[in-house]
Copies of this chain bind each other. A is one copy, B any other.
Amino acid sequence: MKKVTSDPPACTGNVLAMRDTLDILGGKWKLIILHYLTYRDSEINTFKKIERDIEGISSKVLSKELKDLELNKLVIREVQNTKPVSVKYSISEYGKSTETLILQIVNWGKKHRIKMIKETL
């Protein structure tokens, strides 16, 4: 007889899936970058522009994060044909699939902050 009770202790499948997501979207900047690119999809987002707009990120970290995101097909990198070479980054169709997730994270954070404020009164 096979066990037909609940899933195994830690629900391995779900845990793996969480880890996958965390690996790809985790860290301090990835979600912020994706969110930024999603909402500025109509603009030309060059490396410099992103670096300027996302407060506190260094060029080293930005380039690394963008590379990771590009590897996972979340972001598209295009070299522009301009005099001082410039590079344009944009969100991919697939990258847009993260937006509901991101909004959820944003909303939870906002609600949490409100709750905390209320409780401190």
Q: Give chain A's interface residues, CB within 8 Å of chain B.
A: 6-7, 9-22, 24-26, 28, 31-32, 35-36, 39, 52-55, 72, 94, 97-98, 100-102, 104-113, 115
What residue of chain B has the Cβ atom nearest to residue A35's Cβ?
B14
**Interchain Cβ contacts under 8 Å between A and B, 26 examples:** A9-B52, A9-B53, A9-B54, A10-B32, A10-B53, A11-B39, A12-B55, A13-B110, A16-B109, A17-B106, A18-B102, A18-B106, A20-B109, A20-B113, A21-B105, A21-B106, A21-B108, A21-B109, A22-B105, A26-B26, A94-B115, A97-B108, A100-B104, A101-B104, A101-B108, A104-B104
Pick the contact of A24: B7, B54, B112 (CB < 8 A).
B112
CA distance A110 to B17 in the complex (A): 5
CA gap between A100 and B24 in the complex, in Å: 19
Report how far A22 CA is from B104 CA in the complex, Å.
12
* Distance in angstroms between the alpha carbons of A9 and B106 in the assembled complex: 16
Partner of A36, one of B11, B20, B52: B11
Known: A10-B55, A54-B10, A55-B10. A107 touches B17 (CB 8 A): yes
